[in-house]
Amino acid sequence: MPKIKSDIIKWARENAGLTIEEAAYKLQITDGAATSAAEKLDIYEEGKKEPSRALLLRMSKQYRQPLLTFYLDQPPVIGDRGEDFRTIPEQFFEEAENANIDVLIRDIKARQSTIRETLIDEDEEIHLDFIGKHTINSGVKTIVQTIREALNLKLENYRSQPNYKESFKILRQRTESAGIFILLKGNLGSYHSNISVSAFRGFALSDDVAPFIVINDNDIESAWSFTLLHEMTHLILGQTGISGTSAEKQIEKFCNNVASEYFLPATEFDSFKVTNLEFDMLTTKISDYAFSKKVSSSHIAYRLYLRGDISKQIWESLSDFYRKKWLEGRKQIKEDNKIKDGAPSYYVVKRYKLGTLVELVKRLTYSGALTTTKAGMLLDTKPLKVHRLFQTG
């Protein structure tokens, strides 16, 4: 069992804005005959005694810190979200949802730090030369070329897949092979903590040894590939941050332009025309074209708007139309799954959402570089279930 860092216990409490008395109360520590609840907590913060797992879990919950944080060698940087790329300045985000985003980011940063340190300790680190390789001044085409070289994926291979899920799968495989960890995660462990797409579609944590991309899997599946490339652009620019749905800031527009040019070069898109079409015909033509290119229909509609082929009003109507179609489809899938036999097991779904992180943690665990407890924290899985997760595949 790895040792808990007492200075992080104190840091977590202070970062949560709690006095030692307030924290003791929230942690359900009671006064003793000779020692107050606050003094008992101080014993843990001074490193004179290690908290039980039950108490540690309460600390994780009350201090709003990932459990893995308490095993780090030093406290993470306070409030480090990186540059904020949500770019929805006019929209109000509920405090609870903002808090969930902060917890999610801290969780992934803790995992990233542990992976990086372990790989370096084991002399297995590979420094990725494309991380932070360019700036915006390098231009869209230069960065698109860097992405193509890193992924080594032919566009026709991506487009030839039978559906959006399979296209994303092959893109993800190539991106992970390039050294980037990709997680599908849109909550803190249950649907009760779901984070809306309006709050974030994805975020990237830049690092030349263990870069991470997180995609909000509450989003439309046809948009996942675009989000992946958008976030990869952030990594190539050496930036960390959250991406939302709007595109007001220069950096967001640039990352969108890179992803757009990668999937559908402007020279190719020039040949797609939609003149004098009724709305029903327009939606059908856009959907068919989008599917053939394996990009979202909303993206095609937006590019038509930018090109001046459709008005802003029509673009907004199209966006609403495609969003409603997706919601209807998602609802139907959920209903079908309720009566469908042979649905994927918990472990199969978990592995899919974690990607190549599972195999790396498995190898490091079996080699003795990671304890089962730490492996469970990295995979957001109970230690007793870790080996079952390893064996599923």
What are the tens digits of pLDDT across the range 155-192? 999 999 999 999 999 999 999 999 999 999 998 887 77
- With H, G, I as helix, E, B as strand and everything else as coil, classify residue 232: helix
The pLDDT value given to residue 224: 96
Distances in Å between the Cα of 331 and the Cα atoms of 303, 322, 324, 334, 337 are: 28, 14, 11, 5, 10
Q: Tokens 């015909």 appear where?
A: 281
The pLDDT value given to residue 92: 38
Q: Which two tokens stand for residue 181?
A: 């960890």
The pLDDT value given to residue 188: 85
Q: Tokens 């959250």 appear where?
A: 242
Are 364 and 377 a contacting pair, CB within 8 Å? no
The string of pLDDT tens digits covering residues 199-238 is 889 999 999 999 999 999 988 899 999 999 999 999 999 9
The whole-angstrom separation of Cα 358 and Cα 342 is: 23
Amino acid at 90: E
Short-list 206, 208, 204, 205, CA closest to 129: 208
Phi, psi of 198 (to 5 degrees): -65, -20
pTM value?
0.80
The pLDDT value given to residue 333: 59
The pLDDT value given to residue 247: 43
What element of type H or E holds 182?
strand 181-184
The pLDDT value given to residue 96: 56
Which parts of the chain sit beneath pLDDT 70? 1-2, 76-97, 241-248, 330, 332-343
The pLDDT value given to residue 338: 57
The pLDDT value given to residue 241: 66
Instruction: Count the helices and strands in the chain (H runs, E runs).
Output: 18, 4
